[in-house]
Amino acid sequence: MALAVSKMLPPGRFQKESFDHNQQLQRHQYTKPGIINSELAYSALNYENCSSMEQHLIEVEGLKKSFQGNRVLNGINLRVDARQLTVLIGPSGCGKSTLLRCLNGLEDFDEGRITIGGLTLEKNCREYKQTAHKLRMTVGLVFQSFNLFPHLSVLDNVAYPPMIVKKLSKMDARAQAMGFLEKVGLREKAEMAPEQLSGGQQQRAAIARALAMKPKVILYDEPTSALDPALVDEVLDVMKGLHSEGITQIVVTHEMRFARDAADKIAFMYDGAIVEEGTADVIFSNPADSRTRQFLRRFL
């Protein structure tokens, strides 16, 4: 049941909206707030709770990870708010890809905790495997190299994961996939094979495929690094569009112009740790850490 108070009503007059058993919108007006007020207070409270729960959609605490005794993540702490676009930058080998892989449950870690949308993954926690699997379902990952299935059409690439994982019927999955292809501007390419598409189009198809799982967050690992420079912007524009729709995204990229234009927050990673984070203004104009300054110098 929907409940709302119209701002157009005169003071002291309240309106309740609800759906009857035929799903028809019903409006009821009241002069005395009475029960309506308390219902409103309740729904406002719920909204508050909801938004504060979503405040930090992602919380990473003390994440550590070694490969054969070589420490790659050295106590990562990161918070990401819902609907934010976070750009993660840092020199090659500092652990960006490993962090993204941990965030979507692809990579095991040694210490620390990852919470995404209320789902917490901790080393040695009960049901670790199931939780990592659930995490993978709620976190999309877009790779540098697209990784589309070569034997499936673009449409089926997008339709396939929800069919397999969420048991959607082929018809529903394809209808939904068409919507996501439309969103990334590829509706007319739906029946083509991935190899018939340009790199930029393939990457946009990969983003549509990630969207098809309706993830809570999409992670991108250098999504434009394999593209001809002329094709970079069409992919960045899709990410900007998703940002304006309120989709939470974390992007590892060296596209500093994009970071400056689009990011709500930039996190600078160095040697397995996030050493500095802030708005583009702060990071680009007034970074606090000398390693951030040194890293950014090469992009000036």
Ligand X SMILES: Nc1ncnc2c1ncn2[C@@H]1O[C@H](COP(=O)(O)OP(=O)(O)O)[C@@H](O)[C@H]1O
Interface with ligand X by CB under 6 A: which residues?
Answer: 67, 72, 90, 92-98
> Smallest distance, Å, CB 230 to Mg ion?
23
> Under the criterion CB under 5 A, does residue 97 sit at the interface with Mg ion?
yes
95 binds, among ligand X, Mg ion, none (CB under 5 to 8 A by kind): ligand X
97/153 with CB nearer ligand X: 97
93 binds, among Mg ion, ligand X, none (CB under 5 to 8 A by kind): ligand X
> Smallest distance, Å, CB 70 to ligand X?
7
208 binds, among ligand X, Mg ion, none (CB under 5 to 8 A by kind): none
108/182 with CB nearer Mg ion: 108
159 binds, among Mg ion, ligand X, none (CB under 5 to 8 A by kind): none
Which one of 91-99, 119-127, 182-190, 284-292 is the stretch in contact with Mg ion (CB under 5 A)? 91-99
> Smallest distance, Å, CB 220 to ligand X?
12
> Smallest distance, Å, CB 92 to ligand X?
4
CA distances to 48, 154, 178 from 157, rounded to whole Å, are: 38, 5, 11
Which one of 23-31, 41-49, 95-103, 209-217 is the stretch in contact with Mg ion (CB under 5 A)? 95-103
> Smallest distance, Å, CB 160 to Mg ion?
26
67 binds, among ligand X, Mg ion, none (CB under 5 to 8 A by kind): ligand X
211 binds, among Mg ion, ligand X, none (CB under 5 to 8 A by kind): none
Instruction: State the residues that interact with Mg ion by CB under 5 A.
Output: 96-97
